[in-house]
Amino acid sequence: MATIHDVAKRAGVASITVSRIINHSGYFSQEKRQRVEAAIVELGYVPNRLARGLRSKRTNILALVLTDITNPFFTTLARGVEDAASDAGFIVIFCNTDESETEEQKYLQVLLQQQVDGILLVPTRSTSDSIEFIQKHGTPVVVLDRRLPSNAKVDVVRCESVDGAYRLVQLLIGLGHRQIAVLSGPKIVSTAEDRVIGYRQAMVEAGIDERLQLVSYGAFTQSSGYEMAQQVLNVNPRPTALFAANNLIAIGVLKAVRDAGLRVPEDIAMVSFDDLPANLLTSPFFTVAVQPAYEMGQRATQLLLARLTGEAPEHCQEVILPTDLIIRQSSGQARN
């Protein structure tokens, strides 16, 4: 494996000159830069980030810990993180926990051992345990997507799930639906609970009897959406509308509805939280509450970088972004 000394020898310069050119620091001529860059290519030299980090106490590496990288929402969020980090000269390590607290702890231990400069975390639980674990090691952290207890001392960037859910259910009620079921994620996750809270607010405001409120908790997955929908479709009387708490649940719900021989929206209306990429959209198109996932990733990364440079305010910040309601075919027309 080529070393910095090999590059210096090939380019005919001092090792310190190679270091300056790699790190874009100090003075060096254009002619020397070209010779060093040519030597790096010829030798296949890869700068040792860890060694540089030991000297500067920086690795220029951030970590993004997600709960489901297969979800298009988190994929878009990750792109926002990566673009903002890259603009600042950082690279990003991606970790996927599958909503497992055990996996989350395993990844956090490894990341802290590797001395990443900062961590962006979508926590598996709406508690501050993992946050405190990270902060005890002196590593800056920003929480994405999920609400934490008010006493948690950490920066948070998330969307307004309660209002988004409220507006979706209010739309269904305005179309004449009274028997509306919500199919949500794990009860221990704030986004799942917030979307149920928004559902209940709209139902209570419309004067709909609590006995007609159908709430199911599962996982933010297609298979869970399918299973919850199967159960709900067997309720008598059957709901006339379904609210899926995220896009993957919605896909499972749609499959269950079709397997039951029903049509959306002719036989049963549907709305969902989070959109799907155009190549994954199926007919009918979902009516959705869309979160600005890319912006969320960028804002969180910028906040984390500000913590690293000491430019962020001393107090912790909670950035709450609005959702956008997009009405499509799946919610159907007004009922007679």
The rounded mean pLDDT for the chain is 89
How does DSSP classify residue 238? P
Q: Is 76 within the bounds of a domain?
A: yes
- Mean pLDDT, rounded, for 169-187: 96
Q: Is 237 within the bounds of a domain?
A: yes
**β 155-159/318-321 pair status:** parallel
Q: What is the pLDDT, as a whole number, of residue 55? A: 46
Q: Is 98 within the bounds of a domain?
A: yes
Q: Looking at the structure, do residues 215 and 280 belong to the same domain, yes or no?
A: yes
Better-scored residue on pLDDT, 25 or 53: 25
Residue 158's nearest CA partner among 141, 147, 145, 149 is: 145
- pLDDT at residue 283 is higher than 60: no
> Worst-scoring range by mean pLDDT, 56-60, 138-142, 265-269, 270-274?
56-60
Q: What is the pLDDT, as a whole number, of residue 216? A: 97
Longest dimension (CA), the chain: 84
Taking CA 141 as the corner, what is the angle to CA 75 and CA 66, rounded to the nearest 5 degrees? Answer: 25
Q: Is 207 exposed, middle or buried (0-12, 13-18, 19+ CB in 10 A)?
A: exposed
Find the CATH number of the domain harbouring 25: 1.10.260.40
Q: What is the pLDDT, as a whole number, of residue 50? A: 47
Give 30's pLDDT tier (boundaries 50, 70, 90). confident
pTM: 0.81
Q: How many other C-beta atoms are found inside a 10 Å radius of the C-beta of residue 309? A: 8
- pLDDT at residue 47 is higher than 80: no
Better-scored residue on pLDDT, 114 or 106: 106
Q: Looking at the structure, do residues 186 and 223 belong to the same domain, yes or no?
A: yes
- Mean pLDDT, rounded, for 21-50: 77
Q: Looking at the structure, do residues 41 and 124 belong to the same domain, yes or no?
A: no
How does DSSP classify residue 212? G
- pLDDT at residue 177 is higher than 90: yes
Q: Sheet of 61-66: strands edge to edge?
A: 91-96, 61-66, 118-121, 141-144, 155-159, 318-321
Q: What is the pLDDT, as a whole number, of residue 54? A: 43
Q: Looking at the structure, do residues 24 and 128 belong to the same domain, yes or no?
A: no
Q: Looking at the structure, do residues 9 and 154 belong to the same domain, yes or no?
A: no
What is the total count of domains within the chain? 3
Q: How many other C-beta atoms are found inside a 10 Å radius of the C-beta of residue 201? A: 16
Domain enclosing residue 96, as ranges? 58-159+293-322
Q: What is the pLDDT, as a whole number, of residue 279? A: 61
Q: Looking at the structure, do residues 281 and 169 belong to the same domain, yes or no?
A: yes
Q: Looking at the structure, do residues 107 and 155 belong to the same domain, yes or no?
A: yes
Better-scored residue on pLDDT, 116 or 45: 116
Find the CATH number of the domain harbouring 187: 3.40.50.2300
Q: Percent of the chain having pLDDT more than 70?
A: 92
- Mean pLDDT, rounded, for 27-39: 85
Q: pLDDT digits over 234-262, tens only?
A: 999 999 999 999 999 999 999 999 999 99
